[in-house]
Structure 1
Amino acid sequence: MSTISSFTFNAREGRQTHQHSHGHIIIVLTQTFYIRFLDQEHLLTPRLIGFVPPGVPHEFGCTGSALTLNIPAEMIKPTDLIILTEHSTLEIDAKLEPLISLIKQEVGGSSHSNSLRYLFYYLYDKFADQYRMPSLQYMHENYADAINIAQLAAMENYNVSYYTSWFREKIGCNPSDYLKMVRMEMAKEILTTTRYRIIDVAMQVGYTNSSSFTRAFHAMEGMTPNQYRKLMTENRNRIDRKPLAREDVL
């Protein structure tokens, strides 16, 4: 199981640049935290959360202190990564304040707890939902249904042609490819957590037969659904058999 770790960053002179395979959620505790990556530049305050995508070089500096949650890349859905990279800050409003306080308390007790993982997912969902366009939200909530581009375009008050161009510019792919990504993400979750037949998985994510689902899955993941399930099972068994490190036992 992937683990979220945390680190409290204190003020340092100047700015640094680095890159790593995990992502960050940054919660400023005091003063300000500067972050720059891709074409974005942000000055975070205690009222503004920041997100840094995995694998991206970033420059940063801190005048006070900040809490960083280190998020393994596999815990960030590709469809959400598109949104969070485009919209990488979130204001802490009255609804978010209790959650942020809980995260701070949890980190104070243990920087590798399961509770921190659950709190992260709740914050992660809030972050992603904040910036999902109506048509994106609809795809995430109704991926098992038949969805056509005209439906989605109407939700944004555009015609099909303009909507498709607008969507590609905003998200980086066309609507049908994005919907396929959403469906494959859900399929992988079902394959990993259940023993449902492939046809049952296919129907739960919007496909009417296992053949078209298997072709789509293979095109995106480079393996069949059965191969993916076998690989995930082997990985999980390998982790379960791994002896605990000394610090996990103490």
Structure 2
Amino acid sequence: MDRNEFLILDIPIQYLPENTSDMYIRLDKQWGSIRYLLLEEAKSQESTSSLVDLTRYVTSKLQISKPLSIEYIHKHYKESIRLETLAKIEHYHPVYYSAWFKDKTGKSPKVYISELRLNEAKQLLISTGWSMSKISEELGFENSSSFSRWFVRCEGLPPQKFRILNNR
């Protein structure tokens, strides 16, 4: 925790995804293990096939890795999330974080979170018989009327009507 450790990989361009502008990932235990394997295989001069396999594995992990703040959003979108919290996770100033997030996702953090909640709301309306109170509570709204107002703003119709139209 006291040291800054970096794993810098020089990966051939043909193995990389198109957008490599933000391929920085925290060196957790898993990445530390990958680093160890890469170093050990690099020391061993026997065969390069294991290094090639490890390189492919690393690039596939980089392609599916989400930034920590986006993972946080997906785990906590039913709760109130502050921009400052998200920015702190990525070690950015909130103003810079908003621009970074929009560049990464094409949406503001507020719109992104709202879309996650809306998709979950639609799923719950279609797949459960839960009351509006239960659904609004599940999604972190203070009450069912605030949930209904929000749903109408987003979808243009009340959640009860959405449920009826989509359960035919």
TM-score by length of 1: 0.42
Inter-partner Cα distance in structure 2 for 1:215 and 1:172: 26
Structure 2 residue 111 is the aligned partner of structure 1 residue 177: yes
Inter-partner Cα distance in structure 2 for 1:196 and 1:161: 39
CA separation of 1:230 and 1:154: change in aligned 2, threshold 3 A: same
Inter-partner Cα distance in structure 2 for 1:132 and 1:215: 32
Structure 2 residue 97 is the aligned partner of structure 1 residue 163: yes
Unaligned runs of 5+ in 2: 1-13, 17-54
State percent identity of aligned pairs.
32
Matched AA of 2:86:
L
- Report the CA distance between 1:194 and its aligned residue: 0.8
Structure 2 residue 155 is the aligned partner of structure 1 residue 224: no
Unaligned runs of 5+ in 1: 1-42, 49-90, 97-125, 235-250
- Which residue number in structure 1 is paired with residue 81 of structure 2? 147
- Which residue number in structure 1 is paired with residue 134 of structure 2? 200
Cα pair 1:144 1:205 within 8 Å, conserved: yes
- Give the aligned length: 118
CA separation of 1:132 and 1:218: change in aligned 2, threshold 3 A: farther
- Which residue number in structure 2 is paired with residue 187 of structure 1? 121
CA separation of 1:224 and 1:169: change in aligned 2, threshold 3 A: same
Larger Rg: 2
- Where is the strand percentage greater, Structure 1 or Structure 2? 1
How far does the alpha carbon of each residue in 1:34-88 deviate from its partner, in whole angstroms, 9 at most, with x for none? xxxxxxxxx8xxx99xxxxxxxxxxxxxxxxxxxxxxxxxxxxxxxxxxxxxxxx
Q: Which one scores higher on RCO, CA 8 angstroms, separation ≥ 6?
A: 1
CA separation of 1:214 and 1:131: change in aligned 2, threshold 3 A: farther
Cα pair 1:202 1:213 within 8 Å, conserved: yes
- Report the CA distance between 1:197 and its aligned residue: 0.8
- Report the CA distance between 1:92 and its aligned residue: 7.4
CA RMSD of aligned residues (A): 3.0
- Which residue number in structure 1 is paired with residue 71 of structure 2? 137
Report matched runs for 1:1-250 at 5 Å. Answer: 93=57, 130-234=64-168
- Where is the helix percentage greater, Structure 1 or Structure 2? 2
TM-score by length of 2: 0.60
